[in-house]
Amino acid sequence: MLTLPPLSLPPLSLDKAINVLDMGLRTVFSPAIASRPYPAADIGADSTLTESERKHAAALMRINHVGEVCAQALYSGQALVSRDPANVEALKQASRDEVDHLAWCEQRMQELGGRKSLLNPLWFGASFGLGVTAGLLGDKWNLGFLAETEHQVSTHLQSHLQELPVQDHASRAIVAQMKEDEEHHAQTAEQLGGAALPAPVKLAMRLASKVMTRTAYHL
């Protein structure tokens, strides 16, 4: 039988709380700024896309953008309560990469004539609470949750590579780079000692992801 440790909240400073609030507001309401080059910068115009293909690609990129909003919230919540400096740094590095993903997805949505999800504040709040909960269970479960999240996101991105229009080279380049980053995050979390999550937890995560993706496609 799986035995989880009791939840124990470490001391939190006002500065940390303010930083999290500021990050949340910027993630949801402000344009993200990437620190790395746009993966589709050298790819020409996609004038060959039909209107239906353009709308479908924009909706898929909106799903990916929502995923990155959730990732920012998750990792912020996890880092806020983690006690191990190495784990905190791993979470912060993953979060920095996700800011790039946010910016890339947002730019691509604009190019395709799409928009952000109307439910981003809800996605952020729910994911932040989940991240805090995972962090309070202890660092090995915290890292295990990070690893499993990234594995599932990588699988999700692979499905988008198969679903995006073949001629949408720009979106495909962005998704491919995102997938590479997520796989690296998962490997890092496992190397730092992340525990494998129980099968029911993995299933619950997959079911929650399906609800999010189906909703974000339209809203």
Q: Got the DSSP string for 87-126?
A: HHHHHHHHHHHHHHHHHHHHHHHHHHT----TTHHHHHHH
Q: What is the pLDDT of residues 39-67, one digit of tens each?
A: 998 886 676 889 999 999 999 999 999 98
Q: What pLDDT score does 1 carry?
A: 46
Contact status, residue 102 vs residue 33, Cβ threshold 8 Å: no
Residue 45 pLDDT: 64
Domain ranges for the chain: 14-27+51-218
Contacts of 52 (CB under 8 A, 6+ apart): none
Quick one: DSSP state of residue 198?
A: P
The per-residue pLDDT for range 207-216, each reduced to its tens digit, is 988 888 899 9
What does the mean pLDDT of the chain come to? 85
Q: Where are the alpha helices (DSSP H) in the chain?
A: 14-29, 51-81, 85-112, 120-136, 139-163, 169-191, 199-218
Query: What are the Cα distances from residue 104, in Å, to 3, 154, 170?
Result: 40, 17, 10
Cβ neighbourhood burial of 106 (10 Å; 0-12, 13-18, 19+)? buried
Is 202 within 8 Å of 141 (Cβ atoms)?
no
Rounded to an integer, what distance in angstroms lies between the CA atom of residue 11 and that of residue 119?
31
pLDDT band of residue 16 (cuts 50, 70, 90) is low
What is the pTM for the complete model shown?
Answer: 0.86
Whether 210 and 156 have beta carbons less than 8 Å apart is answered as: no
Asked if residue 179 has pLDDT above 70, the reply is yes
Q: Which CATH number fits domain 14-27+51-218: 1.10.8.60, 1.10.260.40, 1.10.3210.10, 1.20.1260.10?
A: 1.20.1260.10
Of the candidate ranges 19-28, 29-38, 171-180, 193-202, the one whose mean pLDDT is the lowest: 19-28
Between residues 187 and 4, the one the model is more confident about: 187
pLDDT at 208: 87
Q: In which element (H, E) is residue 30 found?
A: none
Residues 6+ apart with CB under 8 A from 39: 104, 173, 174, 176, 177
DSSP H or E stretch at residue 39: none
pLDDT classification of 139: cutoffs 50, 70, 90? confident
The SS3 call for residue 51 is helix
In this predicted structure, the answer to whether residue 164 has a pLDDT above a threshold of 90 is: yes
Residue in the block written with tokens 């799409």: 114
Which segment, 30-39, 75-84, 92-101, is predicted with the most confidence on average? 30-39
pLDDT at 149 over 90: no
